[in-house]
Amino acid sequence: MRVMGSETEYGIHAPSAPGANATMMSARVIQAYAQITRQKTAGGAETRWDYTDEEPLHDARGWTLERSAADPSQLTDQPPVLDAEAVALAYGRQELEADGSDEAGSLLMNMVLGNGARLYVDHAHPEYSSPEVTNPLAAVTWDAAGDLVALAAVRKLAADPELPPINLYKNNTDNKSVSYGSHENYLMPRSVPFGEIVRGLTPFFATRQVICGAGRVGIGQDGSRPGYQISQRADFFEAEVGLETTIRRPIINTRDEPHATADKYRRLHVIIGDANLSQVSNYLKFGTTAMVLSLIEAGQAPKLELHEPVAALQEISHDTSLSTTVRLLDGRRVTALDIQWIYYEAAAKLAQETSVSDAVSGDGHTQGVLERWESVLTLLGSNPPAAASSVEWLAKLALLEGYRRRDGLQWGDARLGLVDLQWSDIRPEKGLYYRMLARDRMQRMVDDGAIARAAVEPPSDTRAFFRGKCVSTFGKQVVGASWDSVIFDVPGIGKLQRVPTREPLRGTESLTGELFRKHTTAEGFLGELLGPPPAPRG
Amino acid sequence: MAAQEQQQPQSRDTEIEDEVPEAPPAAPEAQASAATQGVDDLLDEIDGVLESNAEEFVRAFVQKGGQ
């Protein structure tokens, strides 16, 4: 359908060590997973990140922010520095001195995994960035694989009697004014004017929460007003368009870091989504957004403009009855569902015209997205509780309403706040989403076996295949990697070999699978891939 | 930005559960109580896995900024 991928920043908490340094704890999570993969693969699968092509200050509107004008949190092109002071604050100086293996300098903050993903410390959270995939079902699969990766690290840390156990939560706020993101990325042709993207996406982004919001107890950034709302993230957005992701968050983010051939592609960096555990909500989030981008590229996006998009986003989130209307620039007042139906109709029409939804000649995914989208919108309009097995905010709400009814709890009750938080605990025995899944109260689209495989294996149809296979096959010789490169250090060759991977749809199994099957050594592999090394000059 | 203050939702008085438009012909009460029973079983299970001392646990969950 389209190249896409997800990023999840996990909430991190050590109940037995309140106040522990979050960056330090996050590094422990990465470290724990590195230890696990080292056990699994002969060469050691941890690989350092190559920062060469990171450009977080490039703005899609055509300029670059001065470094001095940027918020420090925007400088994501530098490895995070975990200095001795931070370590000492977190664990005490004696421990730092006693435990030589955990010196700040040697703490791993960044890994590339055998499934093509990146696992790293982002500010004060562990983050999993999925490998590039080409359809929403694969996006759900490799996103859920990240939860398994995080779970494996949590288990490893819990088994260490020396360290406090660490819990990870797939949510987006601590309900104390802090939010952390779950981002989506979509590959687009650079030829599409950015203004068209903003116009076409804004009404869609303000309203798609009704199908993919994860639900939140509490209203306002600090959650202090009692109540329940559709989206985890809505109250944290303050601007319509902008470069920032940590302050003054915009509905449309302009970070222009294509991680690919820059004159051909743009990577649309979407920061407005909620982290989803519900597979159907996650599937629809990726699938419908990809289809709206196709509408924009075809010049057929609905001509809608919201009067005040940020206010509309929040009003819609605050109304679980779905009856709130928001004003369009032409004066009409419409509900979120009205807007979603307008986008659905346009997407269905374009899919039919271009045959991508055709049973025989189609792409095999668009029709499935359209069917789910239509059925969920229909249920939301007629009988919302019936959509609770697929729509995450309704599933969480059903559970909360159960507690309210049985125990007579008010919305401000701490127990409801705990249900909201623990919904997203990634441990299946503690996470309430997983308890609902086990009782078949949540629909599955991908089975557990496929998710477990995706935690280890890369997708076959993007450059993530090449990246992942390099790491799992030649891990010892891979000294760095990023979205658009893999760097080898092969004994006997004087300099590092950097293999660029700037075309997201190359490096696939069909293009490179044979090479990996044929070569058992990095030397032979690179020799065939890059040609013979230049003859030494005499 | 501050606009959300004036536009408080008015949704709380619309009770979703009350509007089941097409009641099934046979024994709606029995069905409803079966559904409630299912939820109660679920709640019993969840009671067993919820962290103890909700108030303290929720208060201690403090995150640093993220994206």
CB A46 within 8 A of CB A160: no
Name the minimum distance, in Å, from the CA of B16 to any CA of chain A.
7
State whether residue A311 sits within 8 Å of chain B by CB: yes
As a whole number, mean pLDDT of residues A89-104 equals: 38
pLDDT score, position A517: 96
Q: Which helix (H) or strand (E) holds A33?
A: helix A22-40
Task: Tell me: pLDDT of A81 over 70.
Answer: no
Q: Mutate which of A120, A421, A422 to disrupt the B interface (most B C-beta within 10 Å)?
A: A422
Structure confidence by residue, pLDDT tens digits, A172-191: 999 999 999 999 999 999 99
| Residue showing tokens 């009750």 | A413
Position A173: which residue type?
Answer: T
Note whether residue A13 is domain-resident.
Answer: no
Task: Tell me: pLDDT of A110 over 90.
Answer: no
How many residues does this entry show for chain B?
67
pLDDT score, position A70: 72
The proportion of chain B whose per-residue pLDDT surpasses 90, expressed as a percent, equals 33
The residue from A330, A359, A386 where one domain ends is A386
CB A474 within 8 A of CB A481: no
Q: How far is CA A181 from CA A71, A72, A173, B25, in A?
A: 17, 17, 9, 47
Note whether residue A124 is domain-resident.
Answer: no
Distance CA A111, CA A30 (A): 8
Task: Tell me: pLDDT of B17 over 80.
Answer: no
- A378 shares a domain with A466: no
Question: CB-CB: which of A315, A323, A439 is closest to B42?
Answer: A439
Task: Tell me: pLDDT of A326 over 80.
Answer: yes
Name the minimum distance, in Å, from the CA of B37 to any CA of chain A.
10
pLDDT score, position A44: 43
- A-chain residues within 8 Å CB-CB of B54? 414-415, 417-418
Q: How far apart are the first and last CA of chain A?
A: 52
- Which of A239, A233, A235, A267 has the alpha carbon at shortest distance from A252? A239
A14: closest chain B residue by CA: B61
Name the minimum distance, in Å, from the CA of B23 to any CA of chain A.
12
pLDDT score, position A107: 62
A309: closest chain B residue by CA: B1
Note whether residue A109 is domain-resident.
Answer: no
State whether residue A16 sits within 8 Å of chain B by CB: no
pLDDT score, position A54: 74
Q: Which helix (H) or strand (E) holds A63?
A: strand A63-64
Could you tell me how far CA A251 lies from the centroid of its own chain? 16
Give the number of domains in chain A: 2
Average pLDDT value over all residues in chain B: 69
Note whether residue A300 is domain-resident.
Answer: yes
CB A449 within 8 A of CB A438: no
- A205 shares a domain with A307: yes
Place A38 in a pLDDT band, splitting at 50, 70 and 90.
confident
SS3 A124: coil
Place A94 in a pLDDT band, splitting at 50, 70 and 90.
very low
Is residue A222 flagged as an active site residue? no
Place A123 in a pLDDT band, splitting at 50, 70 and 90.
confident
pLDDT score, position A252: 94
The runs of H, that is alpha helices, within A298-391 are: 309-317, 336-353, 366-382
pLDDT score, position A18: 84
pLDDT score, position A72: 66
Structure confidence by residue, pLDDT tens digits, A379-415: 999 999 999 999 999 999 999 999 999 999 999 999 9
- Which of A453, A409, A517, A354 has the alpha carbon at shortest distance from A144? A453
For residue A218, what are the domain limits?
171-386
Distance CA A442, CA A345 (A): 27
Position A293: which residue type?
Answer: L
Structure tokens at A371: 């069917």
Q: Of A126-130, A359-363, B33-37, which has the strongest mean pLDDT?
A: A126-130
- A340 shares a domain with A466: no
State whether residue A221 sits within 8 Å of chain B by CB: no
Name the minimum distance, in Å, from the CA of A357 to any CA of chain B.
33
Distance CA A431, CA A437 (A): 10
SS3 A368: helix
- A-chain residues within 8 Å CB-CB of B17? 385, 401
Among the listed ranges A180-194, A215-229, A246-260, which one has the minimum average pLDDT value? A246-260
pLDDT score, position B15: 43
Contacts with A413 (C-beta within 8 Å, 6 or more apart), sequence order: none
As a whole number, mean pLDDT of residues A332-341 equals: 98
pLDDT score, position A93: 38
Q: Mutate which of B31, B40, B57, B61 to disrupt the A interface (most A C-beta within 10 Å)?
A: B61
Bridging pattern class, strands A11-13 and A167-169: antiparallel
Question: CB-CB: which of B14, B50, B67 is closest to A418?
Answer: B50
SS3 A465: helix
- B-chain residues within 8 Å CB-CB of A323? 11, 14
Note whether residue A107 is domain-resident.
Answer: no
Distance CA B55, CA B67 (A): 27
pLDDT score, position A141: 98
The residue from A361, A386, A411 where one domain ends is A386
State whether residue A217 sits within 8 Å of chain B by CB: no
CB A192 within 8 A of CB A18: no
- A380 shares a domain with A467: no
Name the minimum distance, in Å, from the CA of A215 to any CA of chain B.
15
As a whole number, mean pLDDT of residues A7-35 equals: 93
Question: CB-CB: which of B1, B45, B61 is closest to A238?
Answer: B1
**ipTM beyond cut 0.85:** yes
State whether residue A178 sits within 8 Å of chain B by CB: yes
pLDDT score, position A84: 46
Place B27 in a pLDDT band, splitting at 50, 70 and 90.
low
CB A281 within 8 A of CB A367: no
B39, with CB counted inside 10 A (0-12, 13-18, 19+), is middle
Note whether residue A44 is domain-resident.
Answer: no
Q: How far is CA A385 from CA A288, A365, A401, in A?
A: 22, 27, 11
The residue from A335, A366, A386 where one domain ends is A386
pLDDT score, position A176: 95
- A-chain residues within 8 Å CB-CB of B12? 227
- Which of A16, A122, A43 has the alpha carbon at shortest distance from A522? A43
pLDDT score, position A440: 95
- B-chain residues within 8 Å CB-CB of A439? 42, 45
Provide DSSP, B5-44: GTT---GGGS-GGG---S--SS-HHHHHHHHHHHHHHHHH
Structure confidence by residue, pLDDT tens digits, A238-254: 999 988 888 889 999 98
Structure tokens at A150: 């995080």
As a whole number, mean pLDDT of residues A144-168 equals: 96
Beta bridge partners of A239: A250
Tally C-beta pairs within 8 A across A and B: 145
Q: Mutate which of A219, A317, A319 to disrupt the B interface (most B C-beta within 10 Å)?
A: A319
A195, with CB counted inside 10 A (0-12, 13-18, 19+), is exposed
Phi then psi dihedrals of residue A487, to 5 deg: -115, 130
- A184 shares a domain with A333: yes
Structure tokens at A232: 């985890």
Task: Tell me: pLDDT of A538 over 70.
Answer: no
